Structure 1
Amino acid sequence: MFIYQHDPCFAKSTVHGTVKEKPGFNAGEDAAALRKAIEGIGTTEKTLIDILTQRSNAQRQLICKAYQDATGRTLCDDLEGDTHGHFEDILVALVTPPAKFDCQEFIRAIKGAGTNESILIELFASRSNHQIKLSVVYFPETGRALIHDLKSEVSGDFEKTLLILAEGKRVESTNVDVAKAKEDAKILYEAGEKKWGTDESKFIDILCHRSVPQLRQTLVEYKSLSGKTLQESIEREMSGRLEDILVAIVKCVKSVPAYLAERLYKSMKGAGTTESTLTRIIVSRSEVDLQEIKAEYKKLFGTSLYSDIEPCVCSLGFSCLQVMCFQTECI
């Protein structure tokens, strides 16, 4: 479903991530150390944290293979049997290939009574086309088409927006056509602020199909034309989940790291900590843009992500997140 490079299993480390490939990596040695930590008298949590948070996901997949070759069991199953709570959730997320992890988050969002639309919005609004590959993981995991299941969970213009994003139809050109941006800004203005009633289809079409660089120019032209930001107009003209996802798209056009920083902040400042959100964002972005997310968090909220996470997560879970966020800094 969601992939970070052509291989459906592996994420590629970037300079914007905090988790890097370990030099001199030896999958067999790491697998043996993990086996000793799990099979000994009492689990050695420090070993689990040190190894699994300081290897790239590609390296973790090689560790998983070496572990299964040596024991006949999967590392994921042994972690689930030997650890508990949020600590278990983080470790299992770490040994899961990125595509499968996002797929599991999608399944969790639509499972049971009611749909967790906020997870769907985050997943689809913040991913680029090459990070969204339908059926690569979802169909083999479930035997069903993701589009079919998505249609069964949502409806109306919210469904239409999600389906376009899920199909990865956004233009990927880096070229910016200023005249086209002016035209789109005018279309949006006339479909919203200037119109009695709102033509939501125009907003959906433009925001889901235009390239990110093109949309950034459209935001500039819209502000110049209307005197308001596009986000302000969407919030004024729309409501419900359609408003939520279109605002999320606009925020991601401006800055995905800032959008995810805001998601992290809200997960900790609401009524109770949404630990699954912390895990999802920090694990999935640790090799993508977590450095930028940390910087945006500090800029937006005047405090460090580190200091805000610490009181919200149990000690073992915090240790995992701490290392993943800050291992490139002195802590």
Structure 2
Amino acid sequence: MFCGDYVQGTIVPAPNFNPMLDAQMLGGALQGFGCDKDLLIDILTQRCNAQRLVIAEAYQGAFCRDLVSDLKEKLSDHFKDVMVGLMYPPPSYDAHELWHAMKGAGTDENCLIDILASRTNGEIFQMREAYYLQYSRDLQEDIYAETSGHFRDMLVNLVQGTREEGYTDPAMAAQDAMVLWEACQQRTGEHKTLLQMILCNKSYQQLWLVFQEFQNISGQDIVDAINECYDGYFQELLVAVVLCVRDKPAYFAYRLYSAIHDFGFHNRTVIRILIARSEIDLMTIRKRYKERYGKSLFHDIRNFASGHYEKALLAICAGDTDEY
């Protein structure tokens, strides 16, 4: 992270945590004919993921029932997606979203871009393990089968999780910047391969230097150059990697704004980003959102969501504050 401010999530471990009490309260909320959705929100959005997993164990012990199965049975629509999504460990949630993006007819390329352009080597490794454990399939093989062209090649490169970490070489940065500049001019298959190899394998610190050198060489911002020279999902993936190198919370603020305003509220994208980033940088994403778009994320969620679904999304965004 190079933008200079503290990256912060909205959900932190709850103090005075009592998993058995939480499990008993969730049992009361889920048993019988009704369902106390407000109580579900109050508990599950105010505990960190590790605490939710302990609650699920306590619930199993107390009721001999699976908490996730009961949530799926009692809830519906997007509210169910939020509550169930909160119960996945982060690698399993990424794996689930990737699987859902590729199953059946059609592929949700934007989901693949959001996840694979933004995750660390460690997160990718855990995600691949979770994918195999949950679906008995190889994530890289599924990506190869469901995508094509240079977009596929770049996704496969990213999912290998081989990015250098912490390494910088100013002299090499100038050379890499020249390669990127030539790739934006020539646009041959070989140049596209070199372009994606640099963006997928160099460290964030090194790419920061490369982008500065690119500006010096070309007189143009690299995002503008990519947008001029390439199109389609390959172009979107290239830009996503650049934006994540520069300011990952700003990238997700942009993706949330697009999901809310460009697609008539793309629920799955909004839910995925809020849950996945809730313990990493969602507070910072909120800040970027307000800075860049003039309205708070709370304001825009209220305008498009309603009922307990709206309340759950706002609770994740707020964390342990009462801002909404």
Which structure carries more helix by proportion?
2
| % identity of equivalent residues | 38
Q: Helix, strand or coil: the match of 1:136?
A: helix
CA distance in 2, matches of 1:225, 1:318: 48
- Show the 5 A alignment for 1:213-252: 213-252=205-244
CA distance in 1, matches of 2:322, 2:88: 28
Matched, 1:206 2:185: no
- Deviation string for 1:180-236 (max 9, x for gaps)? 11111111112323x375721111111011000110111111011101111111111
Say whether 1:118 aligns with 2:110. Answer: yes
1:41 shift after superposition: 4.4
1:72-111 to structure 2, matched below 5 A, reads 72-111=64-103
Which residue does 1:329 correspond to in 2? 321
Equivalent in 133, 154, 158 of residue 151 of structure 2: 158
For 1:254, which of 233, 246, 250 is the aligned residue?
Answer: 246
Contact 2:7–2:284 at 8 Å: present in 1 too? no
Residue type at the aligned position of 1:46: D
Please state if 1:167 is matched with 2:173: no
* Residue 139 of structure 1: aligned partner: 132
Q: For residues 94 and 116 of structure 1, what CA distance do their matches in structure 2 show? A: 21
Residue in structure 2 matched with residue 318 of structure 1 by the alignment: 310
Q: Specify the code of the residue in structure 2 equivalent to 1:314.
A: S
Between 197-206 and 27-36, report the one with greater CA deviation: 197-206
Q: Which amino acid aligns with 1:240?
A: G
Q: What does residue 289 of structure 2 align with?
A: 297
- Paired AA for residue 312 in structure 2: C
Task: Trace 1:255-270 onto structure 2 (pairs within 5 A).
Answer: 255-270=247-262
TM-aligned CA deviation for residue 159 of structure 1 = 1.0
Aligned partners of 2:164, 2:277: CA distance in 1, in Å? 23
Q: Per-residue deviation at 1:325?
A: 1.1
Indicate conservation of the 8 Å contact 1:30/1:63, yes or no: yes
Q: Conserved in 2, the CA contact under 8 Å of 1:177 and 1:214?
A: yes
Q: 1:255 to 1:262 in 2, by over 3 A?
A: same
CA contact (8 A) 1:67 1:75 kept: yes
Residue 320 (structure 1) shift:
1.0
Contact kept, 8 Å, 1:38 with 1:44, in 2: the verdict is yes
Residue 31 of structure 2 corresponds to: 39
CA contact (8 A) 1:18 1:286 kept: yes
Please tell me the residue identity of whatever aligns with 2:141: H
1:273-312 mapped onto 2 (5 Å cutoff): 273-312=265-304
Work out whether residues 86 and 314 of structure 1, in 8 Å CA contact, stay in contact via their aligned partners in 2: no
- The more displaced of 66-75 and 25-34 is 66-75
- Give me the whole-angstrom Cα distance separating, in 2, the residues matched to 1:327 and 1:104: 24
Q: Retained in 2: the 8 A contact 1:257–1:293?
A: yes
Q: Indicate the residue corresponding to 2:62 in structure 1.
A: 70
Over 3 Å counting, the alpha-carbon distance change for 1:307 and 1:227 in structure 2 is: same
Per the TM alignment, residue 15 of structure 1 is displaced from its structure 2 partner at its CA by 6.6
CA contact (8 A) 2:164 2:202 kept: yes
- Counterpart Cα distance in 1 of 2:141 and 2:178: 35
Match of 1:187, as an amino acid?
V
**TM-score, with structure 2 as normaliser:** 0.94
CA shift in 2, pair 1:196/1:67, >3 Å: closer
**C-alpha RMSD of the superposition:** 1.5
Q: Which structure 2 segments of 5+ residues have no match?
A: 1-5
Report if the CA contact (8 A) 2:46-2:320 is conserved.
no
Distance 1:192 1:90 in 2: 41
Cα distance in 1, alignment partners of residues 136 and 33 from structure 2: 40
Distance 2:192 2:140 in 1: 22
Q: Aligned partners of 1:157, 1:70: CA distance in 2, in Å?
A: 51
Which of 264, 289, 293 matches 1:272? 264
Q: Which runs of 4+ in 1 moved over 4 A?
A: none
Q: Are the counterparts in 1 of residues 183 and 192 from structure 2 also a CA contact under 8 Å? A: yes
Question: What is the TM-score normalised by the length of structure 1?
Answer: 0.92
Determine if contact 2:19/2:58 at 8 Å carries over to the other structure.
Answer: yes
Letter aligned with residue 253 of structure 2? A
